[in-house]
């Protein structure tokens, strides 16, 4: 029989992007079901869906799809920018204990993770880099859940401030540590001292310029909110791309951009801006991709090491935040909630570690998947912790919304 | 039937309660912070009281009992400073104002207390929409009969208090065109409005027992009247004022109430009894004029049927009560009110002017919070203006 000529060839050649979109829809359904049946945070559902589909269904075959990677870069940039806006210099000045608590928790977390890794036999520079990365709380998880639950109050505010600060420390420390790596592998004085200076100063300077530009634009764009929001988003994308092109740190640039824009905003343009749910599709894509990047084929030994890392980090953060809770002006119960909320580890960790390994491939073998395994544990547990914290503190506003429906 | 005991108090003593807004400096919206703020102020030593109110975005402060304006004002400033210091540690702003200009009322969370939960259950969305902020002024009375006399005699001056304190021109994101939109939210409650025309305490007790027997009210707290007796304190309580943007103005309003009561008691005659319930004929109309137009509202004097603008009526009343103001050492406060009525305008006008500058309610809200915080500005310029004010007094009759 003659084949019917207008029918497509079999098997169908489904574009990767279409597969990815299908995966997103499945992930949204999983997230919704998890929320309704188990009261799981939606993003935990996205991560799990991404993990399963990436591993077994082959729906997420090529995470480097161009459009998707642009989306994800945008998402990370916006999340960091919004997080940077939470850094209120005025608040830190009026309540310096917050800065003390923040420095202490990051320093302790760094030390604890570093010693655990050294004890496990890891080389010092790599252990230090992983320890630096572990200082950071996942901005994406905290921001997304806080917004999803419409949380508002001291626990939320402090959680977001401490997250913003420890991300800044992490980026700076990692940058500094690259110098140490240079020292160990190259002995090139210029590189050792100039690289971190170039990277930090460049990022901060670029952020300041971008903030000035943004505020100038907002002045001109009047009060039409849609254009103002669009203006922010486009400028964040442009700035992070410039940062990347100039080999600054895009993450630090986005954070500093947010912080400067907010602190230089004398006319409070930002007070009325609501980035809303427009970024939702990007958030889903981001967590599905994170899930698909997780590797569950870890050995028992690696898992144990990762658990050790997670426990040491958690202990360090909890001890310091709870110890300084009263000094910063909240009750110990609320301080403990803030501390638990800081558990999620940044997916940024994976990227930073990857950067380090790309620069110096021969140290990569040592890592032996400890960091990815730790991220695996915390990507699943972290969202649970944050949503538990925001609900327990009574700061989640979602009950109202449910009641209205 | 047993009479409710009216606790005797020193006549003309005064106390103030202020409901205040808790604002997030990030988006200038109301924020949940009452319990955290209270946890901090609990450990601080301060006069008066700082208490939770019906939602987490609201806090109430009250002063002790005072005989004079100056110490009352000082105490309010101390309480404000304690509050602001605690708020600074939590990165929130405390602000005056009768209503938040753009909050979405359905996002408010009821403070977890049996009475508040009961009110929320009973009134449904009204309870959350009732996220408005008022000043209550208590004036001490020797006995229940005096309290009832003052309550009804003060009714004529209710529009004064509305116009002088008005600070809720914006509500739910729009200019309501009212100077005081807050009272419109209060009117929705079934037990709002004015007290029944009873001139004796026994008459009032009888009314209360009837309402209680009918199951309409449980306690005096269930009445949301503009002025109500408070037998536990031995006071009449004026409840129509928006919370002003500064504590100084709150103290000045209390002083004005004290001066009026002094005058009403000193010149007590049978005018009120003769006129009877007709004293309330124009009451709703006058009150509406005050809410809508502020000082420009036109009101009708229930005794003389004369029409005049509120501005003129206030200035004339103040001129007539100058003797009482002197007797109570309240001339400073009264001067400030004259300056406000004549030149500066009320807080609603200040808010509209700020909004005109920036076209941003967020920015206006932020400046409003800064105004609450700022210590009284005694700039030489303003000092001159206040001194000149003495010549602006209307001629004494």
Strand B93-95 relative to strand B174-175, pairing = unpaired
pLDDT of residue A2: 58
Residue B12 is classified by DSSP as T
Structure tokens at B131: 């996220």
Cβ-defined contact of B358 to A334 (cutoff 8 Å): no
**Residue A298 phi, psi dihedral angles, 5° rounding:** -105, 150
Which CATH number is correct for B14-392, 3.30.360.10, 3.40.50.10800, 3.30.430.20, 3.30.590.20? 3.30.590.20
Taking the CA atoms of B33, B112, B83 and A335 in sequence, report the sign of the dihedral they define: negative
Predicted confidence pLDDT, tens digits, chain A (405 residues): 556 678 777 777 777 778 888 888 999 999 999 988 988 888 889 988 888 887 676 666 655 566 777 777 788 888 889 889 888 888 999 999 999 999 999 999 999 999 998 888 777 877 888 899 889 998 888 988 988 888 888 999 999 999 999 999 998 888 788 777 766 666 566 767 787 888 889 999 999 999 999 999 988 886 666 788 888 889 999 999 999 899 888 888 999 999 999 888 888 888 777 776 656 667 788 888 878 777 777 777 778 888 888 999 999 999 999 999 989 989 999 999 999 999 998 776 666 666 666 666 655 555 556 777 787 788 888 899 999 999 998 888 754 433 332
Confidence check: pLDDT of B316 > 90: yes
Confidence check: pLDDT of B379 > 60: no
Of B353 and A268, more confident: B353
* Residue of A328, A331, A397 lying closest to B39 (CB–CB): A331
pLDDT of residue B380: 54
Structure tokens at B61: 């402060």
Give the Cβ contact number of residue A92 at 10 Å: 17
Cβ-defined contact of B360 to A267 (cutoff 8 Å): yes
Task: Describe the crossing of helices A370-392 and A348-359 by its angle, rounded to 10 degrees.
Answer: 160
Structure tokens at B21: 């807004």
CB A196, CB A179: distance < 8 Å: yes
pLDDT of residue B86: 93
Structure tokens at A204: 């901060």
Position A143 in a domain: yes
B→A interface, C-beta within 8 Å: 24-28, 31-33, 36, 39-40, 56, 86, 88-91, 106-107, 109, 112, 358-363, 366
Alpha helices in B267-360 (DSSP H): 271-275, 283-293, 310-320, 322-327, 331-339, 347-358
> Tokens 């009403």, residue?
B264
Position A75 in a domain: yes
CB A148, CB A277: distance < 8 Å: no
CA distance A42 to chain B (A): 22
Give the Cβ contact number of residue B197 at 10 Å: 18
Q: Comparing C-alpha atoms, which of B333, B284, B337, B277 is closest to residue B313?
A: B337
Inter-chain contacts counted by CB atoms under 8 A, chains A and B = 74
A82 touches chain B (CB under 8 A): no
A12 touches chain B (CB under 8 A): no
Residue to test with chain B: of A86, A100, A266, A329, most B Cβ within 10 A: A329
Contacts for A396 with CB less than 8 Å, ≥ 6 apart: A149, A150, A151, A387, A390
CA distances from A186 to A106, A128, A193, A232, A353 (A): 29, 18, 12, 41, 19
How far is A312 from A305, CA to CA, in rounded Å? Answer: 11
CA distance A103 to chain B (A): 18
* Residue of B89, B106, B112 lying closest to A329 (CB–CB): B89
Chain A 95-114, residues with CB within 8 Å of chain B CB atoms:
95
Structure tokens at A28: 């949204």
Contacts for A41 with CB less than 8 Å, ≥ 6 apart: A34, A35, A145, A148, A383, A384, A386, A387
How far is A96 from B348, CA to CA, in rounded Å? Answer: 36
Strand B235-242 relative to strand B134-140, pairing = antiparallel
Average pLDDT of the residues in B351-356: 95
pLDDT of residue A376: 77
Which residues span the domain enclosing A288?
25-398
Contacts for A358 with CB less than 8 Å, ≥ 6 apart: none
What kind and span of H or E run contains A187?
A: none
> Using a CB-CB distance cutoff of 8 angstroms, which residues of chain B are in contact with residue A90?
25, 91
pLDDT of residue A360: 61
Confidence check: pLDDT of B390 > 50: no
How far is A147 from A184, CA to CA, in rounded Å? Answer: 43
How far is A250 from A256, CA to CA, in rounded Å? Answer: 10
* Residue of B32, B90, B109 lying closest to A329 (CB–CB): B90
- Domain residues of chain B, as ranges? 14-392
* Residue of B28, B90, B107 lying closest to A268 (CB–CB): B28
Q: Comparing C-alpha atoms, which of A116, A144, A142 is closest to residue A340?
A: A142
How far is A32 from A43, CA to CA, in rounded Å? Answer: 9
> Tokens 């202020």, residue?
B18
Nearest CA in chain B to A267: B363
Cβ-defined contact of A328 to B89 (cutoff 8 Å): yes
CA distances from B127 to B64, B115, B169 (A): 28, 12, 20
How far is A100 from A112, CA to CA, in rounded Å? Answer: 18
pLDDT band at B393 (very low <50, low <70, confident <90, very high): very low
Cβ-defined contact of B363 to A267 (cutoff 8 Å): yes
Dihedral angle of Cα A358, A360, A365, A366, to the nearest 10 degrees = -120
Structure tokens at B293: 């137009």
Question: What's the mean pLDDT when you consider all of chain B?
Answer: 89
Give DSSP secondary structure letters for B341-382.
IIII--HHHHHHHHHHHH--HHHHHHHHHHHHHSPP---HHH
How far is A313 from A117, CA to CA, in rounded Å? Answer: 11
pLDDT of residue A111: 96
> Using a CB-CB distance cutoff of 8 angstroms, which residues of chain B are in contact with residue A267?
358, 360, 363
Position A43 in a domain: yes
At CA A349, angle to CA A346 and CA A353, rounded to 5?
A: 175
Give pTM, 2 decimals: 0.86
Position A254 in a domain: yes
Which of B229-233, B341-345, B375-379 shows the lowest mean pLDDT across its residues? B375-379
> Using a CB-CB distance cutoff of 8 angstroms, which residues of chain A are in contact with residue B40?
329
> Using a CB-CB distance cutoff of 8 angstroms, which residues of chain B are in contact with residue A85?
26
At CA A82, angle to CA A78 and CA A83, rounded to 5?
A: 115
Chain A 190-229, residues with CB within 8 Å of chain B CB atoms:
223
Residue to test with chain B: of A86, A100, A263, A271, most B Cβ within 10 A: A271
Nearest CA in chain A to B363: A268
* Residue of A150, A267, A271 lying closest to B28 (CB–CB): A271
Residue to test with chain B: of A84, A92, A224, A268, most B Cβ within 10 A: A268
How far is B7 from B233, CA to CA, in rounded Å? Answer: 6
Q: Comparing C-alpha atoms, which of A234, A71, A84, A288 is closest to residue A171?
A: A84
Confidence check: pLDDT of B392 > 80: no
Which of A153-157, B239-243, B311-315 shows the lowest mean pLDDT across its residues? A153-157
Dihedral angle of Cα B291, B132, B69, B331, to the nearest 10 degrees = -20
> Using a CB-CB distance cutoff of 8 angstroms, which residues of chain B are in contact with residue A223?
359-360
Average pLDDT of the residues in B136-147: 95
| pLDDT tens digits, one per residue of B165-198 | 999 999 988 999 999 999 988 888 888 899 999 9
pLDDT of residue B340: 95
pLDDT of residue B395: 39
Give DSSP secondary structure letters for A111-131.
HHHHHHHHHTT--HHHHHHHH
Q: Which SS3 state, helix, strand or coil, does residue A309 take?
A: helix
Position A5 in a domain: no
pLDDT of residue B288: 95
Overall domain count for chain A: 1
Residue A391 C-alpha from the chain's centroid: 21
> Tokens 């951009």, residue?
A257
> Tokens 């600074």, residue?
B88
Cβ-defined contact of A152 to B31 (cutoff 8 Å): yes
CA distance B278 to chain A (A): 45
Cβ-defined contact of A334 to B36 (cutoff 8 Å): yes
Cβ-defined contact of B28 to A397 (cutoff 8 Å): no
Q: Could you tell me what percent of chain B has a pLDDT over 70? A: 92
The CA R_g of chain B, rounded to the nearest whole Å, is: 20
CB B165, CB B310: distance < 8 Å: no
For residue A52, give the CATH number of its domain: 1.20.1530.20
């Amino acid at each position: 029989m003659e084949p019917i000529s207008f029918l497509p060839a079999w098997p169908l050649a489904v574009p990767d992007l279409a597969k990815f979109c299908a995966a997103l829809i499945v992930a949204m359904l999983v997230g919704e079901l998890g929320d309704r049946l188990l009261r799981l945070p939606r993003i935990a559902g996205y991560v799990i869906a991404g993990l399963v589909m990436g591993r077994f269904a082959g729906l997420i075959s090529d995470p480097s799809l161009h459009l998707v990677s642009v989306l994800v870069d945008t998402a990370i940039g916006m999340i960091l920018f919004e997080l940077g806006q939470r850094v209120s210099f005025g608040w830190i000045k009026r309540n310096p204990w917050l800065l003390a608590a923040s420095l202490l928790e990051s320093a302790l977390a760094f030390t604890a993770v570093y010693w655990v890794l050294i004890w496990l036999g890891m080389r010092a520079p790599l252990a230090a880099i992983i320890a630096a990365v572990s200082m950071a709380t996942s901005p994406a998880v905290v921001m997304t859940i806080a917004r999803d639950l419409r949380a508002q109050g001291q626990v939320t505010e402090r959680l977001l401030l401490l997250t913003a600060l420890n991300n800044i420390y992490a980026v700076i420390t990692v940058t500094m540590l690259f110098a140490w790596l240079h020292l160990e592998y190259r002995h090139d004085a210029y590189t050792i001292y100039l690289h971190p200076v170039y990277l930090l100063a460049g990022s901060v300077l670029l952020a300041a310029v971008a903030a000035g530009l943004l505020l100038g634009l907002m002045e001109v764009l009047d009060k039409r909110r849609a254009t103002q929001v669009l203006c922010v988003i486009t400028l964040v994308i442009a700035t992070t791309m410039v940062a990347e092109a100039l080999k600054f740190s895009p993450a630090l640039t986005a954070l500093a951009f947010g912080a400067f824009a907010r602190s230089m905003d004398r006319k409070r343009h930002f007070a009325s801006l609501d980035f809303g749910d427009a970024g939702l599709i990007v958030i889903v894509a981001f967590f599905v991709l994170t899930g698909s990047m997780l590797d569950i084929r870890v050995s028992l030994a690696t898992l144990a090491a990762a658990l050790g890392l997670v426990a040491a980090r958690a202990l360090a953060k909890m001890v310091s935040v709870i110890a300084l809770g009263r000094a910063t002006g909240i009750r110990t119960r609320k301080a403990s909630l803030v501390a638990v909320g800081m558990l999620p580890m940044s997916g940024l960790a994976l990227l930073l570690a990857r950067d380090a390994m790309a620069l110096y491939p021969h140290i990569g073998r040592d890592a032996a998947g400890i960091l990815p395994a730790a991220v695996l544990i915390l990507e699943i547990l972290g969202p649970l912790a944050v949503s538990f914290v925001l609900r327990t503190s009574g700061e989640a506003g979602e009950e109202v919304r449910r009641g209205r429906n | 039937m047993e009479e409710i005991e009216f606790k005797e108090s020193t006549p003309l003593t005064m106390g103030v309660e202020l409901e205040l807004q808790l604002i997030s400096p990030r988006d200038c919206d109301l924020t949940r912070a009452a319990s955290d703020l209270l946890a901090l102020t609990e450990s601080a030593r301060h006069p008066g009281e700082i208490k939770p109110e019906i939602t987490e975005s609201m806090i109430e402060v009250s002063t002790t009992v005072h005989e004079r304006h100056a110490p009352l004002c000082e105490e309010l400033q101390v309480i404000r400073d304690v509050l602001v210091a605690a708020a600074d540690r939590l990165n929130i702003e405390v602000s005056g104002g009768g209503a938040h200009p753009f909050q979405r009322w359905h996002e408010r969370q009821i403070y977890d207390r049996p009475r508040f939960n009961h009110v929320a259950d009973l009134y449904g969305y009204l309870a959350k929409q009732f996220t408005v902020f008022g000043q209550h002024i208590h004036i001490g009375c020797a006995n229940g009969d005096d309290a009832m006399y003052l309550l009804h005699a003060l009714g004529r001056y209710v529009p004064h208090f509305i116009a002088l304190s008005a600070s809720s021109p914006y509500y739910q994101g729009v200019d309501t065109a009212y100077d005081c939109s807050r009272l419109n939210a209060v009117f929705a409650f079934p037990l709002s409005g004015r007290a029944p025309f009873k001139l004796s305490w026994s008459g009032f007790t009888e009314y209360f027992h009837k309402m209680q027997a009918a199951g309409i009210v449980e306690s005096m707290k269930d009445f949301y009247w503009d002025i109500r007796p408070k037998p536990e304190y031995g006071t009449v309580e004026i409840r129509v004022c928006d919370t002003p943007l500064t504590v100084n103005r709150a103290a000045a309003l209390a002083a004005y109430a004290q001066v009026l009561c002094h005058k009403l008691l000193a010149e007590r005659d049978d005018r009120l009894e003769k006129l009877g319930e007709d004293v309330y004929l124009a009451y709703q109309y006058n009150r509406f004029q005050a809410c809508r137009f502020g000082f420009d509202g036109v009101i009708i004097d229930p005794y003389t049927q004369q029409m005049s603008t509120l501005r003129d009526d206030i200035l004339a009343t103040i001129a007539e009560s100058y003797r009482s103001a002197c007797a109570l050492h309240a001339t400073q406060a009264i001067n400030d009110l004259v300056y406000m009525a004549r030149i500066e305008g009320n807080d609603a006008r200040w808010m509209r002017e700020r909004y005109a500058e920036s076209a941003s309610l967020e920015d206006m809200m932020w400046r409003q919070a800064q105004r609450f915080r700022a210590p009284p500005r005694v700039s030489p310029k303003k000092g001159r203006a206040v001194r000149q004010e003495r010549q602006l007094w209307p001629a004494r009759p």
